[in-house]
Amino acid sequence: MTTRIEATATTLSWIPSEAVTGLTKAAFETGFTHYDPPPPDVVDDLDGLRAADRFRYANVLAGWAEVEDGRIVRAGYDDTSGVLMGSTTVRVGRLGATFAAVALPVLRHEPEFRPDGGVRLTQTCGGRTALPAPRAVPHPPFVKLQSPLVWTTLSLTLYPDGRSEPGLPGASAFPRHWVYDDAGALVLKSGLTDYSAWAAHSFGARTPWGDEDSPALAVEVESATERTLSRLLMSGGQKPRIRTLAAEEMLTLQGEPGDELYLLLDGVLRVEVGGRRLAEVGPGAVLGERAVLEGGRRTSTLIAATPIRVAVCPGAAIDRERLAELAGSHRREDVPA
C-alpha cells in the first residue's frame, strides 16, 4: 500500500527598519520608498499579504513523498512551488508609482534521500526589484546600474510518519528572511542582515544563478511575549537609542548594575553565566528584564556572536507585570545550551 504525504514551507523576505545603511537610507527616511512592517506570526493568506505590499518576495516550496512499508520511495516538487514576487512603491510628494519585481528562474535540487529515512527537497527562488540602483562595486564591472539580487534557498524535509521540517541553508545577506512551516507558523528567522555586503556583491557569479550561494545564519524565533514587547518598545513615546557592536564585543557584564532593556534588531547575541555559554538569541529577542526586576544587577553576560544592532530602552518603558512574564519565560540561566 502506498501513502502520499504533502507539505509546504515558505519564506517571506522583507525590509525592517534600521536594516538599511549608507546613502540609500535617506530614500527610506524621506518616504521615497518604505520599510516593511513585520509579517504576521501565522500566514494564512499569502496572496492577501502580497496585495497589501507586506513582503518583497516569497519562496514557496510544496513537496510530496510516497511511502511504502514505512519507507519513502519517491518524492518531488508540487506544481504550486515557486517564487511570488512583490513590488516596490516609490513616492515623490503626493505622487506614487509601483514597480513589479523581476523573478529569476527557480532552481531545484534532486530529492535527497537521507540516512534517517527522510527526504529533503531544496529550492532557490529570488529576483530583483525593477528599480535601478546605480552604485560603485569593489570588483568588475566596478559600477552597477541594476539592483542587487535577493534570494532564499529553502529546504523541506519529509518523514515517513508525515512530519515535515523546513530549513534555510542559504540566503542573500539582505533583506530579512522569515521561514514558515506547513501550518503557516513562523519557525525560523535569518539572524543577520548586511546591506553593504549585499549591495557590493550580490550579482553575477556571487549568486546561486552564478557560482555560489551565501550560507544563511538561521535562528529560532523569539517568544510571542517578546514580539509584543518589541512592538511596544519601538513604537513607544520615547524613541530607543540604537547601538552597534562588532563581533565579540560585550553588551552587558554579569554582576554590573543596569536598568535598561535591550531589543536585538539584527545579529546574534551569546548569553553567558559564570563564563558558561547558555544560549544564543537572534533578532526580536528582548533582554535585560531580570536586572530591572531583581535589584538592578545583570544576571548574565551578553556578548555579540556576530555584528549586532540593538535598541536600548529605559526599563520603565514596559510595565513590571509584562517584564515579569518575560522573565518567567526566559530563565536562560537554568538551561545550558
CA distance 129 to 198: 14
Q: Same structural domain for residues 181 and 233?
A: no
The C-alpha cell at 151 is: 534570494
Q: Same structural domain for residues 69 and 189?
A: yes
Q: Same structural domain for residues 168 and 52?
A: yes
The predicted pLDDT at position 139 comes to 78
How many alpha carbons lie under 13 Å from residue 237 in its C-beta half-sphere?
3
In the listed set 204, 220, 236, which residue is the last one of a domain according to the structure?
220
User: Computed from CA positions of residues 138, 140, 144, 148, in that sequence, does the dihedral angle turn out positive or negative?
Assistant: negative
Q: Same structural domain for residues 295 and 159?
A: no
Q: Same structural domain for residues 248 and 197?
A: no
Please give the residue range of the domain that contains residue 230.
224-334
Q: Same structural domain for residues 38 and 150?
A: yes
Contact indicator for 257, 297 with CB cutoff of 8 Å = yes
Q: Same structural domain for residues 34 and 102?
A: yes
Q: Same structural domain for residues 214 and 243?
A: no
Dihedral (Cα; 272, 275, 278, 279), 10-degree rounding: 40
Reference 216, options 258, 173, 262, 245; nearest CA is: 173
Q: Give pTM, 2 decimals.
A: 0.85
Count of domains in the chain? 2
Q: Same structural domain for residues 178 and 263?
A: no
CA distance 21 to 26: 9
pLDDT digits (tens, 9 = 90+) for 233-246: 887 777 889 999 99
pLDDT digits (tens, 9 = 90+) for 300-326: 999 999 999 999 998 888 888 888 888
In the listed set 220, 255, 283, which residue is the last one of a domain according to the structure?
220
In the listed set 199, 220, 241, which residue is the last one of a domain according to the structure?
220
Which CATH number do you get for residue 232?
Answer: 2.60.120.10
What average pLDDT does this structure show over 259-277? 93
